[in-house]
């Protein structure tokens, strides 16, 4: 391998000995030079093992090979039985079992979870003499599994003893069964959940190496069964008791974290549970579940003892045709049921109730449709009859936890849904009887739409409190009193009646409101589009609604929350949709019926997706489904199924590695024969003082604390997880820093996976993520090398010159930087100009304006009692909207308008991005994508009229887009969607978040609107012996973007009028105003210094070092320390810290990014420039 493909040596990289290795070797799956001295290109795993054995250095590499050997053995048996190799997800599951990991089996329909459980139990008994148990929900599935076990064991000539139990056994056979159980005369036991509950005493004390719980929804609802299956794999009742005490303590931890006695007791419980997990022989548990639900706290035992949480299948909704028609008559319903045929669900709004559902069911039966009403206690039979064609249509009420809305997963059977009215909440607002917390959230939410200012803030504050404390009687009572107060005010009632967000009605003296139930519609319509191996099945959802407002509300919110647009039924090609629905049902049916699948190609992949932020990991997993979670020492791994890809999402929490601060080379960079190679150590973070360091030490170098986080744990956990998957997707942020993090992780994990790919998304939305998977690519080595140069240069300059400064100034909080030093110079120079150009003015205040007059030009001004308008002109001018925000303009505007610090702005923007509300916020491009233009066009059309739309691209398309909202939701609606729980956000949002979102939203929408014509007034004002010219905007002549960002208008002046003077005072000021943070950012942009990702960091560093300080109105002035440091550096090291040199280096970095310049030559140049100065 060419040495230029080696970028650095990393701790814990070697896949064999676990010590350091370079990225070049690791990418080639090659151990370090200590293990195998000579590099062999394209060497295979078995050859590496031979070489390691020859050198007597074989260690961890054997585990990689042994896992693959074990998988080959399993594949051989699997293939004999199924005549096809296991699919990707099944291979992953098997690897987990080999490594002793328990988990929830999440996979699309048709993947063969039951088949996997059967064959794995056979393999473990036949090859490893291990005992297994398979749990079934009913006797029908039990007999099918037993038949398949007997068939499969014959195919592989296994002597496996299969034992099972049914209630239909004769007394003699039951006794024989009990005797065999007692003597453990079997290899695989197949039982039902009912047997487990009633006859567990027969099994107690028997250890099972493998327990496969198939379709366990009913099992999980009985907390006793959870205890029983945990005992079967090796836990005692005492273990369960300790674990449950730890769970209860964890729930109380946040409220008692300041109580040292409680914290110590919690630690003892945690250590006890850890000891149980580490010392006991524990079997492996696989849970296969449709809904992923368990009652109470008992399912938390899985997390405490086996490090996983139960997830659920992906909810439907991938391919639904949302249709709408204004005819909600029963006649129209019947017409479309006859057209679409069997496999339909009919949903009745809860406001019409079960009685109307019964009427509709009777009407369908009268018209010879095999229809039935969904009833509790009868659903198992209804589902069976629906599958077998005995029933064509099921009618139910559309409520969030309705029988048809949740848990119904029949992808081969259910084809369409018809809603006879928009699902809704109907609340009485007579306020004469206590409402529950759920109703109060909606009632207060409605108030927040129509109240303003302090009243609005009061209601929203209570709404937040209620959501956090929804079971508190005191909070509920106080919330009710607030609601009652407002709902008795006539003006509030009138506002509610006119609201566009709710339907408020009065009938027979009763007041109530209807709110579209978006969540129920999403869940209910999702029954028609389910996940299977090839993706989502095509589904049809038809809403019949005559109330135009309800239809509009549903349509708008579905667009906001799901990016799903309703199509008028008259515009849809229903015949084509029905054909697609039928084709997909045939595919699912064939997959389910195929016990031998040699004709079916495995398109699936199991993938590990790495992102930087835990917030982003959580949000992505929830956008794609209901994740199962596995808990590692250093992170949580979220697992979701999305069609062909089973995705495991993990956050690296930023950089994992950085240049070491140990005694290596030149500040962590080894140099040999003009080749520069970084030496990287895992980042450590002190739990006490929070200092981050890479120094090889057992204590924090700042405070001496021995308790610190070390990302070495993450390195080991990621290696462990990578062994399970086929491919790793690097999904770090789309910039050079994200590319470097990605490169480190790709290099680390390459020995354990067959592929590593790069995907980038510029918005954390479902649409953005799915789009990213269409553009799978490679890591950009040029960007990585540019970031390497930046980091090494920063390290060299920082360490070299900080040391010099510390010695010179006898100060520890001191540093130098290529960019920060010239920027400090600008602030010092502006401060000097400000002091040198100060002049004295008379400041005149009137009722209409404020003006200043130079004292030296107008001594008579101080005696002035009134001001005269001596000349007045008016003209109409066109104002064009500003482009959407880039990083620098966002920082500047938010700082100018709200006095947020640049650090605060970037934190807020980061959290808005990670919560999927704005596009990526580190960008220097104002470009707007076609999707962005369409988003703005729809918002403007709906809110202001199509005639005010004027879309613009704002520059050529590049790698980044402007900063814009991801949905067409104005801030008020966004707040309500979040407060009411309709829009999921991974972290709580505060008022500053909404303020910044509003700024971004309005700027973007304005950029896609027509120009505005305004009327300007130009006046000449006479004050004593002075004349002053003044301009003011007085009116909007033609509306455009002014509809969303109104210009500041002032009252028109009248010619020859005399205006009384209120106050005259002397002021001293300069035309050279001191810089604000916003000014400095714009200056950096103009000068070509820094990057979008570093603007805020540079200013923050100057402030934290005490070089500059903020004074009145956010103005920046240099400190004595800052002036001294700048003078020292600029006089002694001018060539290194000049803005010309810094700017030229930024240009060189761009050339490296574009592949035009060799990064090693640049490092040599920088080294020669810096090293001699020591």
Give catalytic residue positions: 920
- Judged by phi (left if over 0) then psi (alpha if -120 to 50, else beta), residue 157 lies in left
Return the DSSP state at 860: G
Measured over the CA atoms of residue 364, residue 369, residue 374 and residue 378, the dihedral's sign is: positive
* Ranges of H-type helices in 161-292: 171-182, 193-199, 217-221, 223-232, 237-256, 260-279
Residue 1049 token pair: 């208008």
Cα 236 to Cα 281: distance, rounded to the nearest angstrom: 11
The residues near 625 (Cβ < 8 Å, ≥ 6 apart) are: 311, 312, 313, 314, 315, 640, 641, 642
Q: The dihedral of CA 318, 320, 324, 330: what is its sign?
A: negative
Which residue is associated with the tokens 């030559």? 1161
Q: Among candidates 49, 67, 68, 45, which has minimal Cα distance to 59? A: 49
CA distance linking residue 983 with residue 972, whole number of Å: 13
Q: How far apart are CA 544 and CA 675, in angstroms?
A: 71
Closest CA to 1040 of 1009, 1008, 1015, 1014: 1009
DSSP per-residue string spanning 586-617: HHHHHHHH-SS-TTS----EEEEEEES-HHHH
Q: What is the DSSP string of 493-523?
A: HHHHHH-SSSEEEEETTEEEEEEE-HHHHHH
Given the structure tokens 């293990």, which residue do they identify?
35
Long-range residue pairs from 1137-1143, CB within 8 A, at least 24 positions apart, any chain: 1137/816, 1137/818, 1137/821, 1137/822, 1138/822, 1139/822, 1139/825, 1139/1087, 1139/1089, 1141/818, 1142/818, 1142/819, 1142/822, 1142/1089, 1143/1087, 1143/1088, 1143/1089
Q: Which helix (H) or strand (E) holds 571?
A: none
**Calpha distance 123→117 (Å, rounded):** 10
CA distances from residue 986 to 174, 254, 620, 917, 978 in whole angstroms, order as listed: 53, 18, 9, 11, 11
Helices and strands: H and E segment counts in the chain: 40, 41
Q: How far apart are CA 299 and CA 311, in angstroms?
A: 11
Please, what sign has the CA dihedral across residues 565, 570, 576, 581?
positive
Gap between the Cα atoms of 1096 and 221, Å rounded: 51
Is residue 159 helix, strand or coil? coil
| Separation of alpha carbons 466 and 139, rounded Å | 46
Whether the CB-CB separation of 660 and 695 falls below 8 Å is answered with: yes
C-alpha to C-alpha distance for 54 and 689, rounded to whole angstroms: 48
Contact yes or no for 450/492 (Cβ under 8 A): yes
């Amino acid at each position: 391998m060419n040495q230029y493909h080696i970028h650095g040596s990393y701790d814990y990289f070697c896949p064999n000995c676990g010590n350091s290795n370079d990225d070049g070797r690791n990418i080639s799956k090659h151990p370090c030079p200590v293990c195998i001295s000579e590099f062999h290109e394209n060497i295979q795993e078995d050859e590496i093992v031979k070489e390691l054995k020859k050198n007597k250095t074989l260690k961890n590499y054997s585990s990689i090979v042994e896992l693959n050997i074990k998988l080959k053995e399993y594949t051989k048996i699997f293939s004999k039985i199924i005549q096809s190799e296991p699919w990707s997800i099944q291979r992953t599951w098997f690897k987990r079992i080999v490594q002793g990991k328990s988990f929830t089996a999440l996979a699309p329909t048709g993947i063969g979870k039951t088949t996997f459980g059967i064959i794995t139990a056979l393999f473990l008994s036949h090859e490893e003499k291990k005992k297994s148990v398979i749990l079934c929900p009913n006797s029908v599935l039990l007999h099918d599994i037993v038949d398949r076990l007997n068939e499969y064991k014959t195919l592989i000539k296994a002597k496996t003893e299969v034992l099972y139990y049914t209630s239909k056994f004769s007394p003699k056979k039951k006794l024989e069964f009990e005797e065999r159980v007692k003597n453990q005369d079997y290899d695989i036991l197949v039982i039902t959940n009912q047997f487990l509950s009633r006859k567990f005493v027969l099994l107690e004390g028997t250890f099972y190496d493998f327990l496969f719980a198939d379709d366990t929804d009913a099992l999980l609802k009985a907390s006793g069964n959870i205890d029983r299956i945990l005992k079967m794999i090796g836990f005692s009742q005492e273990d369960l008791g300790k674990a449950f005490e730890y769970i209860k303590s964890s729930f109380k931890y946040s409220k008692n974290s300041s109580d040292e006695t409680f914290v110590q007791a919690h630690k003892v419980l945690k250590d006890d549970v850890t000891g149980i997990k580490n010392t006991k022989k524990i079997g492996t548990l696989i849970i296969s579940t449709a809904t992923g639900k368990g009652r109470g706290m008992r399912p938390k035992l899985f997390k405490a003892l086996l490090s996983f949480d139960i997830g659920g299948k992906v909810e439907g909704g991938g391919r639904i045709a949302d249709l709408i028609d204004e005819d909600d008559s029963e006649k129209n319903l019947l017409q479309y049921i006859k057209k679409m045929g069997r496999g339909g669900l009919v949903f009745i709004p809860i406001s019409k109730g079960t009685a109307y559902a019964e009427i509709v069911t009777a009407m369908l039966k009268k018209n010879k449709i095999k229809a039935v009403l969904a009833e509790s206690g009868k659903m198992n039979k209804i589902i069976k009859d629906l599958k077998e064609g005995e029933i064509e249509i099921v009618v139910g009420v559309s409520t969030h936890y309705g029988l048809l809305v949740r848990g119904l997963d029949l992808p081969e059977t259910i084809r369409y849904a018809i809603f006879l009215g928009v699902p809704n909440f109907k609340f009485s607002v007579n306020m004469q009887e206590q409402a529950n917390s759920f109703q109060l959230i909606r009632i207060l939410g409605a108030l927040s739409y129509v109240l303003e200012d302090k009243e609005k803030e009061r209601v929203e504050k209570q709404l937040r409190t209620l959501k956090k404390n929804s079971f508190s009687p005191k909070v509920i009572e106080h919330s009710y009193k607030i609601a009652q107060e407002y709902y008795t005010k006539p003006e509030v009632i009138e506002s509610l009646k006119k609201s566009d967000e709710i339907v408020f009605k009065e009938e027979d003296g009763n007041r109530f409101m209807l709110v579209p139930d978006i969540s129920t519609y999403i869940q209910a319509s999702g029954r028609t589009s389910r996940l299977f191996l090839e993706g989502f099945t095509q589904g049809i959802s038809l809403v019949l609604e005559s109330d135009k407002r309800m239809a509009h509300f549903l349509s708008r919110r579905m667009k906001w929350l799901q990016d799903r647009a309703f199509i008028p039924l008259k515009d849809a090609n229903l015949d084509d949709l029905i054909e697609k629905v039928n084709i997909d049902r045939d595919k699912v049916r064939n997959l389910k019926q195929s016990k031998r699948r040699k004709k079916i190609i495995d398109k699936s992949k199991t993938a590990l997706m790495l992102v930087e932020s835990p917030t982003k990991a959580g949000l992505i997993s929830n956008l794609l489904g209901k994740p199962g979670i596995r808990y590692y020492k250093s992170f949580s791994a979220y697992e979701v199924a999305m069609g062909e890809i089973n995705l495991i999402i993990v956050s690296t929490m930023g950089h994992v590695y950085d240049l070491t601060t140990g005694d290596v080379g030149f500040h962590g960079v080894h140099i040999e024969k003009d080749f520069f190679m970084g030496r990287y150590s895992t980042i450590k973070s002190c739990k006490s003082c929070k200092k981050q360091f890479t120094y090889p030490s057992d204590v924090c170098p700042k405070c001496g604390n021995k308790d610190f986080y070390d990302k070495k744990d993450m390195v080991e956990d990621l290696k462990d997880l990578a062994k399970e998957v086929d491919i790793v997707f690097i999904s770090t942020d789309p910039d050079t820093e994200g590319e470097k993090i990605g490169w480190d992780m790709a290099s680390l994990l390459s020995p354990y996976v067959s592929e590593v790919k790069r995907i980038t998304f510029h918005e954390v939305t479902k649409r953005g993520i799915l789009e990213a998977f269409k553009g799978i690519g490679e890591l950009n080595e040029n960007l990585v090398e540019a970031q390497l140069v930046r980091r090494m240069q920063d390290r060299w300059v920082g360490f070299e010159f900080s040391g010099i400064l510390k010695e010179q100034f006898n100060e520890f909080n001191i540093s130098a930087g290529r960019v920060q030093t010239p920027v400090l110079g600008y602030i010092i120079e502006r401060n000097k100009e400000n002091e040198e150009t100060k002049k004295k003015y008379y400041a005149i205040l009137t009722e209409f304006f404020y003006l200043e007059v130079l004292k030296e030009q107008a001594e008579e001004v101080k005696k002035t009692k009134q001001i005269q308008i001596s000349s007045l002109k008016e003209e109409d001018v066109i104002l064009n909207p500003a482009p959407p925000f880039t990083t620098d303009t966002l920082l500047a505007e938010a700082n100018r308008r709200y006095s947020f610090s640049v650090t605060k702005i970037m934190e807020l923007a980061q959290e808005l991005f990670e919560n999927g509300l704005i596009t990526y916020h580190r960008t220097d491009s104002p470009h707007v994508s076609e999707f962005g233009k369409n988003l703005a066009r729809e918002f403007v059309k709906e809110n202001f009229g199509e005639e005010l739309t004027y879309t613009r691209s704002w520059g050529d398309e590049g790698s980044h887009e402007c900063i814009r909202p991801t949905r067409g939701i104005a801030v008020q609606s966004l707040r309500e969607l979040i407060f009411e729980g309709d829009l999921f956000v991974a972290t709580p949002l505060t008022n500053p978040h909404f303020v910044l979102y509003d700024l971004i939203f309005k700027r973007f929408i304005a950029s896609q609107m027509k120009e505005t014509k305004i009327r300007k007034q130009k006046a000449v004002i006479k004050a004593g012996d002075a004349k002053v010219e003044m301009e003011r905007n007085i009116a909007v002549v033609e509306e455009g973007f002014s509809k969303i960002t109104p210009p500041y208008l002032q009252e028109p002046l009248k010619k020859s009028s005399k205006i009384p003077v209120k106050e005259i005072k002397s002021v001293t000021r300069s035309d050279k105003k001191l810089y604000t943070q916003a000014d400095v950012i714009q200056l950096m942009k103009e000068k070509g210094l820094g990057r979008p990702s570093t603007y805020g960091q540079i200013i923050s560093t100057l402030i934290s070092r005490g070089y500059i300080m903020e004074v009145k109105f956010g103005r920046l002035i240099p400190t004595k320390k800052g002036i001294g440091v700048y003078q020292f550096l600029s006089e002694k090291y001018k060539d290194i810290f000049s803005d010309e040199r810094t700017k030229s280096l930024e240009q060189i970095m761009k050339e490296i990014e574009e592949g035009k310049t060799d990064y090693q030559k640049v490092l040599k140049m920088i080294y020669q420039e810096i090293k001699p100065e020591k």
